Every structure is written in C-alpha cells, then in structure tokens.
Amino acid sequence: MAVLCKPAIAVPEHIITQDDTLELARRLHKDHSQLKLVLRLIEHTGVLKRHLIQPIDKVLKHPGLDARSAVYEQESKARVPAVVRQALDQAELEARQIDLIVYVSCTGFMMPSLTAWLINTLGFRSETRQIPIAQLGCAAGGAAINRAHDFCTAYPDSNVLIVACEFCSLCYQPTDLGVGSLLSNGLFGDAIAAAVVRGRGGTGVRLERNGSYLIPHTEDWISYAVRSTGFHFLLDKRVPGTMEPLAPALRAVADQQRWNAGELDFYLVHAGGPRILDDLSRFLEVPPEAFRFSRATLTEYGNIASAVVLDALGRMFEEASPREGHRGLLAGFGPGITAEMALGTWTAAA
C-alpha cells in the first residue's frame, strides 16, 4: 500500500506580521469606504505572520507579468531543490528511485514545467513521468496526494514525489480594492513543500481511499481573472460557508471505507481561513483541537495554498502523536468549489 512519508517544508526569509499588514492597509487604503471592515476581517483570520520571497516594498510594486514570471522561475529554481532533497532523504530514497513527479502551483507558470528542470538537475531518470497541476488552486495539495495514490495503486512498486511551490505574494495586485482582494492581501503567504509517496515501505500515512467532490455551480466563487497584469484573485463572499455542503462529502468518503468521519484520530485539512476549521469542527462533530495542525499552519504561515496540507502533515510528524493504526482524513479545498479528500492509516516501517 502507498505510504505518504514525512514532508519537507521551507518558508522564505522575509516576514510580515499581522500588525505590519494592518498598518499597511491603514496607510495604503486610508480613504477606502470599507476600511474598518477590512481591518476587522484581517484581524479575525488568526494569521499572526507570513513569509515572503521578497521584501514587502518589492511585493507592493508591480513590475509587470513578465518580470513576475522571471522572479517565479528564479526563486523556484533557487529554493525547490533543497526541499526536494530533504523529502527524498526523509523517505529514505534517491532521486533515481522516483517514477513520477507531481508538481503543483497556482501562483506562477512555466512551460515546460519545473518538473523538467528538476529531472535534468537533480538526478531523476529521464523516464520519470511528470504531472504538473496548475488550476486546482489550494485543492491541489490534496489532488497531488490522490494522484500519487492512484499511480502507486496502478504500479505498486513505484514511488512518487510531490512538490508544492506557492509564491502567493507574486499575485498581489495594487489596483484590486474589493473587500475580498484586500482580505486576501492579509491572508496568503509563500512556502514550498515536498513529500514522497512510497509504493512499498516507509513510515507515515498509508493511503486507503481517495475521492473528489465539486459543489455544483460554484465555479465563479474562487477564480483568477487572467489579465495583462497577471493573476487577479477573485473571492466570493459565499466561500466561507462552503463547509456545510462539503462536510457530507467528507462523511461519504469515510462511509465508503466504513469509517465514521467524526471519530477519526487525526485531521489534516486545508486551512483557507479560521471559519473553515470552525465549521468543519461543528459539521463533523469533532473538537476544535482536532484541527490544531491546520490551525498552526494558518497562524504561523498564513494560507500557503496547496502546501497547507503537507505542512499540517509535517506538524503531526513533529508532534509524534499518531500511533500504529490511527486513522485520519486529509483534504484540500479550492476552486470549483472542489474538495480533494483522502483517508489514511498511520503505519511505521518495520
């Protein structure tokens, strides 16, 4: 059975605190008619600090999509290799033992994908398969785990590397002044995460089942408007309420495994904001403490898009709380509105 091993996480060196964010909002948008609402929403995110690939003065400037694309390529090539090497070490594998790389990112675009550069640079075999995923947004972390699981189910002796590279700060748009956009400016952070799914052996989450669910007719609730200036993030005010229709989908996947979604040992879910975690606690009837790993990610790093689920998993590894046979749920939520869900059992290598 496929095992999701300990992930490697890296956040960049430039830090912006919540106090910094609030002060910037007051200074840059002092005449905004809904400034008080924006400040209150940012305060309620629970995000105390975020990490950025550039100093904030550079983030606030917009040099154009071509310049931002160059930064994305330069920074990803500079930062991803060390994270990949750490993930391989933690899975006790070498690059040549990887059969598929799933690379997810919704904050920059390259063609060919960074996967081609990684194969050529880090010693992966030329036969290594590639799956770049760009348009699932924050759900892509869950999707990457699920596609790795599918591959290892089809090819049981295979190993899959997952890489999530999210530089959300490159999507800042100084002319987007809607409440949703200004809230996003205080929510998203930059991070890189990587993990290996081993077809055989390994310590971590043994993947048992996965599933997807799309809430009908919500495709315009989370989206990008792609313009000459780049990606303009659009966030509908109805998004925070999406856990009510998604909770039954989580329960349904667990039911297929004959598990009760409200009685699991661990929960690793995308922390898009505090209400998502609060609502899941209520609708799944589990204590708020069950989402402590996701909440810690949100507090310390902000919403790091597709990397959230892997960071939450890393925090569970560090806490060393799971025991052999403990059962859990992993889930990413993103545009569509889409949920990518997985069930797993903790296992330790013999």
For the stretch 48-61, what's the b/e string if a residue is b when 16 or more beta carbons lie within 10 angstroms of its beta carbon? ebbbbbbeeeebee
Number of separate domains in the chain: 2
Is 291 found in the same domain as 231? yes
Question: Final residue of a domain: which of 141, 172, 198?
Answer: 198
Q: Count of residues for the chain?
A: 350
Is 160 found in the same domain as 41? yes
CATH of the domain at 338: 3.40.47.10
Is 233 found in the same domain as 192? no
pLDDT given at position 232: 87
Any catalytic annotation for residue 138? yes
pLDDT given at position 350: 60
Judge contact between 88 and 118, C-beta under 8 A. no
C-alpha span between 201 and 22 (Å, rounded): 47
Amino acid identity of 198?
R
The alpha helices in 155-266, defined as continuous H runs, are 179-185, 243-256
Task: Considering the candidates 5, 138, 152, 168, report the single residue annotated as catalytic.
Answer: 138
Is 132 found in the same domain as 194? yes
Question: Final residue of a domain: which of 178, 198, 218?
Answer: 198
218: buried, middle or exposed (CB in 10 Å: 19+, 13-18, 0-12)? middle
**Which pLDDT tens digits describe the chain residue by residue (350 residues)?**
899 999 999 999 999 999 999 999 999 999 899 999 999 999 999 999 999 999 999 999 889 899 999 999 999 999 999 999 999 999 999 999 999 999 999 999 999 999 999 999 999 999 999 999 999 999 999 999 999 999 999 999 999 999 999 999 999 999 988 888 888 889 999 999 999 999 999 999 999 999 999 999 999 988 888 888 888 888 888 888 889 999 999 999 999 999 999 999 999 999 888 888 999 999 999 999 999 999 999 999 999 999 999 999 999 999 988 999 999 999 999 999 999 999 999 999 76
Instruction: Tokens for 84, please give them.
Output: 């990949």
The alpha helices in the chain, defined as continuous H runs, are 18-28, 35-44, 56-60, 65-90, 114-122, 140-154, 179-185, 243-256, 274-284, 292-301, 308-319
Is 67 found in the same domain as 214? no
Judge contact between 334 and 222, C-beta under 8 A. yes
Ramachandran angles phi, psi of 276, nearest 5°: -55, -45
For the stretch 131-154, what's the b/e string if a residue is b when 16 or more beta carbons lie within 10 angstroms of its beta carbon? bbbbebbbbbbbbbbbbbbebbee
State pTM to two decimals: 0.95
Is 335 found in the same domain as 218? yes
Judge contact between 175 and 65, C-beta under 8 A. no
β-pairing, 100-104 vs 159-167, is parallel
Is 210 found in the same domain as 186? no
pLDDT given at position 4: 98
Which H or E run includes 342? strand 338-347
pLDDT given at position 320: 87
Is 221 found in the same domain as 178? no
Instruction: Tokens for 257, please give them.
Output: 């495994």
Question: Final residue of a domain: which of 145, 173, 198?
Answer: 198
pLDDT given at position 235: 81
Q: Identify the domain containing residue 235 by its residue range.
A: 204-347
Judge contact between 233 and 171, C-beta under 8 A. yes
Is 41 found in the same domain as 17? yes
Q: Which residues pair with 96 in a beta bridge?
A: none
Is 38 found in the same domain as 170? yes
DSSP labels, 295-340: HHHHHHH-B-GGGHHHHHHHHHHHHT---TT-EEEEEEEETTTEEE
